[in-house]
Copies of this chain bind each other. A is one copy, B any other.
């Protein structure tokens, strides 16, 4: 398979750098082709602004999504953005690797999403009707591809557990896994999360590295998270609310959007 790993840590000699090297070595050993987008090494520009849309008239009002739609349609996106889009189209599997900063991705990686995910490419795709609401949440440009997160945090696993003070890690990652990966069509594999990384000794690192190698060996066979497809019948259109009866009676919040086998009332 072809794998794109987007790496968002500023220091190659970090735990993140070491884990990246472990993942890439294992992927290559398995015969996969790998490309890396090392955002800091590339000098990635984080913020969307007028400079991203050279065709925009200097005195025109700047509407980011309208400008994105026009530039994507006309081939007028900047070269750095086009190069990342080409890698996404090339790859069978996308891996986003980052340290969890303030309970989400670092700014530079958010800026990769904000800029590369153009209108017409990752959103604004497909037709709207009584039975479909665009190609999104399980359909779209990346349908048939897989994605997963590799995340490190200094915090304790207990603090990110179901009743932990930070909130459950699955909930914290939901806006990324559901809203950034599943939205444009990726099947999302369970995340690889490494906790208390500041305290990791050599034995601890060896254990995490082996756990990561195993995830890299099973990229093709791991069962994706069972996010519900938008146009698969579970949601009312156009209100896009989950049909009555779906989701256990006591389920609230993000967990509703995982298919639990329940049937509409």
* A interface residues with partner B (beta carbon < 8 Å): 10-11, 13-14, 39-40, 44, 46-50, 61-65, 99, 101-108, 110-111, 113-114, 117, 137, 154, 156, 158-159, 161-168, 171-172, 174-175, 178-180, 198, 230, 235, 238-242, 247, 249-257
Contacts and interface: CB of A to CB of B under 8 A. Distances in A.
A102 B180 contact: yes
A114 B137 contact: no
A62 B39 CA distance: 16
A228 to B, nearest CB: 8
B104 A164 contact: no
Contacts of A249: 250
Contacts of A64: 10-11, 99
B61 A11 contact: yes
A72 to B, nearest CB: 16
A27 to B, nearest CB: 25
A-B pairs with lowest CB-CB distance, top 8: A107-B111, A46-B46, A250-B250, A103-B179, A103-B175, A253-B253, A107-B110, A47-B108
Contact of A107 (B11, B40, B107, B198): B107
Contact of A165 (B48, B117, B174, B257): B257
Given A107-B114, A165-B235, A174-B167, A10 B241 contact: no
Contacts of A63: 11, 14
Given A11-B61, A102-B179, A107-B48, A254 B161 contact: no
Tallying the copies of this chain within the complex gives 2
8 contacts: A44-B47, A47-B111, A102-B179, A163-B256, A164-B239, A165-B240, A172-B175, A252-B255
A106 B110 contact: yes
Given A46-B47, A163-B256, A165-B257, 13 more contacts: A13-B61, A40-B47, A156-B238, A158-B239, A159-B240, A159-B241, A164-B239, A164-B241, A164-B242, A165-B230, A167-B175, A250-B252, A251-B252
Nearest to A137: B165
A247 B180 CA distance: 30
B108 A46 contact: yes
A161 to B, nearest CB: 6
